[in-house]
Structure 1
Amino acid sequence: MTDYGHDLLFGSFITPAAGQAEAVVALSQISEREGLDLVTFQDHPYQAGFLDTWTLMSYVAAATETIRISANVINLPLRPPVVLARSAASLDLLSGGRVELGLGAGAFWDAIEAVGGPRRTRAESVEALDEAITIIRAVWDDSERGGVRVAGKHYRVAGAKRGPAPAHDIGIWLGAYKPRMLRLVGRAADGWLPSLPGLKGGRAELAAGNKIIDEAAEEAGRSPGAVRRLLNIGADTEPEALAELALEHGISAFILMADDSATIQRLGSEIAPAVRELVSKERSGTRTPKAEAPPEPQPSVDLAKPTPKTRASRLWDEEARPVAPPAPTGFRYAPHGPEIGRHLIDVHGMLRDELQRIHDVIAQVKSGALSVAGARSALNETALRQNNWELGAFCANYCTRITQHHGLEDGQIFPHLRRSDPGLVPVIDRLQEEHVIIHEVVEGVDRALIELVRSDGDFTALQQAMDLLSDTLLSHLSYEEEQLVEPLARFGFYPGQV
């Protein structure tokens, strides 16, 4: 059990999408309003679809008052360390001491080289990062006399003037996974900032990383507690799990990877207070032991967990929907058959998330945080709007990643199910008819956004369009799950899968 005793921090990790610039700033402001400590952004200067991270951080600093701001993490090969040190110190002074410096050694070397950056081996990138940290700290230290001189292998600084000094001691947090980088964290950094999905070994890898950092810190004459442990987390992490990460692995900053306001709001209003209370009680010795949870039952083939239906009768008659024939009596499923059926529900989770994202965008328009033009841009980027959301097309992306079967093309799944069981033909025909209707409903939301400009702020039509979208989409997803989960477990997504 390792608890380094740091105060707990909670933050957001927002995609700097250039096509949704207003929404990015709005989510930053929501992060502050919900009481989060940090707002962070990834840094990929070679990515034309992203805002420049340092420009964005500066804009967000001006649009907020209390929240701390950091890259997650800065792409060092494309940002010279002397300039980076002065940029960070300048923004820290302008923002009242609200800047932290997440640093990375670099990745995606083809892209870096394509825009004029250096190509480095893994060992070279760690060496360069080590040199850069030395330079950055020297530039910030204006109490020393004389210029900064570093004769490194990758960076040579010959008498650069020092300063400005930042408004507070900026933390240097390194995104690191491999032993060489972890030793650098322990020796020279103020924080370790990995992503939980990137830790393939899970908590065991987290513990192993802590051990390497602690040993390197002690060898350098530092206390292991001088290194804060931060972690980028997904949206499905609950307070108990985060409290255990804090108490058993020393994680003291949890940064949520999410681009929707509802998830950020939940982190600030529900999760963060609960985690703080659990950790505080444990540290003070007053926490009540958690009862052992009973083992979860093994799933059966009937895996659908439909969202409760809403009233979509304005566009179709739910009672007239055809029903899939039952599985043959005594049918024995392949070992991985139920998992294939379960993928459909995972795919639908994406669509339900998109629906929530559209609701979030509309809420931002109502609050004045996002323009109608920004809302339409956000709507245009969803799979729903692009008419690329039907089962075949969505699975072409999702199932390729999950099952690693490449080459699945739009329209292959439904024809496969038709051939596998003629009794499914009426169901599939009905599903495809509903796809067309829902696409028109999504178009109706866009038309209502356009009309909002003409109606001088009257949200009635837009709210009606959103209600209709929720009704039709959730009803359709439930029906599709009810009818297709079992056949997919039996036949798979394409011939020969089961």
Structure 2
Amino acid sequence: MTDYGHPLLFGSFLTPAAADPERTVGHAVLSEQLGLDLVTFQDHPYQPAFLDTWTLLSYVAARTRTVGLAANVANLPLRPPAVLARSVAALDRLSGGRVELGLGAGAFWEAIEAMGGRRLPGGHGVRALEEAVEVIRQVWDTGSRGGVRVDGEFHRVVGAKRGPAPAHDVGIWLGAYKPRMLGVVGRRADGWLPSLSYLQPGDLAAGNARIDEAAHEAGRSPRAVRRLLNVSGRFTAAGSGPLAGPPAQWAQELADLALGDGISAFILASDDPDDLRRFAQEVAPAVRELVDAERAGAAPRAAGVTPQVARGAFAVVPTADDGTRRSSTRVWDESARPAGPAPDPDRTYTPHELASGRHLVDVHDQLRAELARLHDLIDQVAAGLVDAGTARSHINTMTMRQNKWTLGTYCESYCRIVTTHHTIEDHGLFPHLRRADARLAPVIDRLEQEHHAIHDVLEGVDRALVSFVATADGTAELRAAVDLLTDTLLSHLAYEERELVEPIARLGTG
């Protein structure tokens, strides 16, 4: 049983169908609006019924703002690695650091040859992939001197200029199934990305063991390799088999895969908007809750692993307030906020304690992501871009009044989530921390005061929603109310993390 401890991700695995491009893009936009972390597309350049995956990813990047993007997986035999590296880096910079690189050695060799690619069966494909990873990493490594030099058996790059570097450390996720490819994952990759439908019972455990072995041999920690999984199934009222049943069954099965096989990213292969909704809104939150509860209440599940401790500086980094403000209104004086006790530099923290502290950041990150989607939805409504396909499933068009009701429901739901989160803190977490460490009392008092102020701001959003739906043009008033909510909430979340993440790790949640 292995849990590598990575934060959970949930995504969509979409068909890049060329017959209805707007519908294909609409599924990607919907994935972002539903709160999924990733949008991925299969890559089969020889398939004339498909849009070119890299062109599609670039177009989707321009239509979205927050969701991660990846090929699942890029077809290496038809995408030269040096050019692919620059394509990835360019899109990562253009999208604000949202691109990851799923990469495969190739399949369907007759079709690849028909497109001018070179057939590389068996071990040849594995060696070519490992050389390609080296080329890609060298192209991105702008901190080293000299040009890119890989004089390989299948890929030869001699002196090409390095760069551009991606906007963030792009993960290279390899689609792999057999031992030699799994060895490359352990030695060179940042992630393992198989599809559950291609695996037999025991394959995940065996694959993890091979990856871990190769990582150790290369001097790497197995935890450096994220384990991702493409999944598919059916949502039904009653269970009829693996991933065939109600969302609660899906959640339990995926949580078992997370805790037992180390999977930390689940990517749903479906082009059905209703499936995407169930997965994002019902399955994903339930899986997070199950995994968080297990991680917070149990020792690490990897057999024979001794819990490690973090010494010195506290290892969980609170989210900083960047100072950006959208509104000229100020709800409180930030300079008057009290500070709690400084962490003890000699204190050690177990993984259990660190996970407890990190959980507050994870919860806040979900609120921040929801807030970003709220702004995006307002922008789309104002621009007339929201239609039935992205807002409500199968309907292709929507009147502006219907669009307004869709946005109103979203805003109302978000405000309710924030209020619930604050109520839980006020009645459970805060009293426990106040009792456990009296030095935190001024901070707790201030946070409770800010909760009341945020409640008043939420009331302002409610009033703006009434105006938005009832009048011909209430967009400006709603935007102003949501801008003020953004300023106050982001400022508050950053302050709360700064002052409480370490005490929660040290004192628990009560």
Alignment TM class, shorter chain as reference: 0.5 to 0.7
Question: 1:26-65 maps to which residues of 2 (within 5 A)?
Answer: 26-65=26-65
The DSSP-based 3-state class of the residue aligned with 2:229 is strand
2:395 corresponding residue in structure 1: 363
Counterpart position of 2:92: 92
Partner of 2:142: 142
- In the alignment, which residue of structure 1 is the partner of 2:265? 253
Q: Secondary structure at the match of 1:83?
A: helix
Matched, 1:157 2:163: no
Structure 2 counterpart SS, 1:103: strand
Determine the C-alpha separation between the residues in 1 that align with 2:295 and 2:396: 39
Give the corresponding residue for 2:214: 216
For 1:76-133, what per-residue CA distance to the aligned partner results, in whole angstroms no more than 9, with x for missing partners? 0000001000000000000000000000000000000001000111111000000000
Deviates more, 1:232-241 or 1:257-266: 232-241
Alignment pair present for 1:230 and 2:228: yes
- Compute the displacement of 1:267 (Å): 1.1
1:167-206 deviation digits (Å, cap 9, x = unpaired): 000000000000000010001000000000000x23x111
Give the 3-state SS of the residue equivalent to 1:19 in structure 2: coil
Q: Is the 8 A contact 1:3 1:246 kept in 2?
A: yes
The whole-number CA distance in structure 2 between the counterparts of 1:260 and 1:129 is: 33
Could you give the per-residue CA deviations for residues 391-413 of structure 1, whole angstroms, max 9, x where no partner exists? Answer: xxxxxxxxxxxxxxxxxxxxxxx
What corresponds to 2:112 in structure 1? 112
Aligned to 1:272: 284
> Does residue 1:182 correspond to 2:214, yes or no?
no
- CA separation in 2, counterparts of 1:261 and 1:171? 28
TM superposition score normalised by structure 1:
0.58
Map of 1:132 onto structure 2: 132
TM-score by length of 2: 0.57
For residues 1-46 of structure 1, give each alpha carbon's deviation from its aligned partner in whole angstroms, at most 9, with x where no partner exists.
Answer: 1000000000000000000211111010110001000000000000
Cα distance, 1:360 vs structure 2: 7.6
Shift of 1:364: 3.5
Q: Does 1:66 align with 2:78?
A: no
**CA contact 1:262–1:360 (8 Å) conserved in 2:** no
Is the Cα contact below 8 Å between 1:186 and 1:227 reproduced in 2?
yes
Output the CA distance in 2 between the equivalents of 1:363 and 1:235.
Answer: 24
Task: Specify the alignment match of 1:244 in structure 2.
Answer: 256
Q: Does 1:103 align with 2:103?
A: yes
Between the aligned partners of 1:76 and 1:58, the Cα distance in structure 2 is: 18
Aligned twin of 1:262: 274
Equivalent pair of 1:140/1:162 in contact (CA under 8 Å): yes
Partner SS for 1:157: strand
Corresponding residue number in structure 2 for 1:377: none
AA aligned opposite 1:363: I
- Map of 1:350 onto structure 2: none
Q: Whole-Å Cα distance in 2 between the matches of residues 38 and 124 of structure 1?
A: 31
Q: Distance in 1 between matches of 2:159 and 2:43?
A: 29
CA distance in 2, matches of 1:362, 1:130: 43
SS in 1 for 2:227: strand
Specify the structure having the higher radius of gyration (Cα): 1
Instruction: State how far apart, in whole Å, the 2-side matches of 1:61 and 1:210 are.
Output: 32
SS in structure 2 opposite 1:100? strand
Q: Which letter does structure 2 place at the counterpart of 1:224?
A: P
Question: Match of 1:101, as an amino acid?
Answer: L
CA distance, structure 1, for counterparts of residue 192 and residue 298 of structure 2: 29
CA distance in 2, matches of 1:175, 1:362: 32
| AA aligned opposite 1:208 | A
Q: Which amino acid aligns with 2:398?
A: K
For residue 442 of structure 1, what is the aligned residue in structure 2? none
1:207 corresponds in structure 2 to: 205
- Matched ranges for 1:424-435 at <5 A: none
Runs of 4+ in 1 over 4 A off after TM superposition: none
Amino acid at match of 2:397: V
Read off the aligned partner of 2:68 and give its amino acid letter. Answer: R
**C-alpha separation in 1, matches of 2:22 and 2:297:** 45
Give the % identical residues.
Answer: 65
What runs of 5+ residues in structure 1 fail to find an aligned partner?
A: 288-356, 369-498
| 1:180-235 deviation line (CA, Å, top 9, x unaligned) | 00010001000000000000x23x11100000000000000000000000000013
How many equivalent pairs are there?
A: 296
Give the CA deviation at 1:362. 3.8
Is there any run of 5+ residues in structure 2 with no aligned partner, and where?
235-242, 244-249, 300-388, 401-510
Cα pair 2:274 2:393 within 8 Å, conserved: no
- State the partner residue of 2:166: 166
Compute the displacement of 1:367 (Å): 7.5
Residue matched to 1:7: 7
TM-aligned CA distance change 1:367 to 1:119, over 3 Å: farther
Cα shift readout 1:287-344 (whole Å, capped 9, x = no counterpart): 9xxxxxxxxxxxxxxxxxxxxxxxxxxxxxxxxxxxxxxxxxxxxxxxxxxxxxxxxx
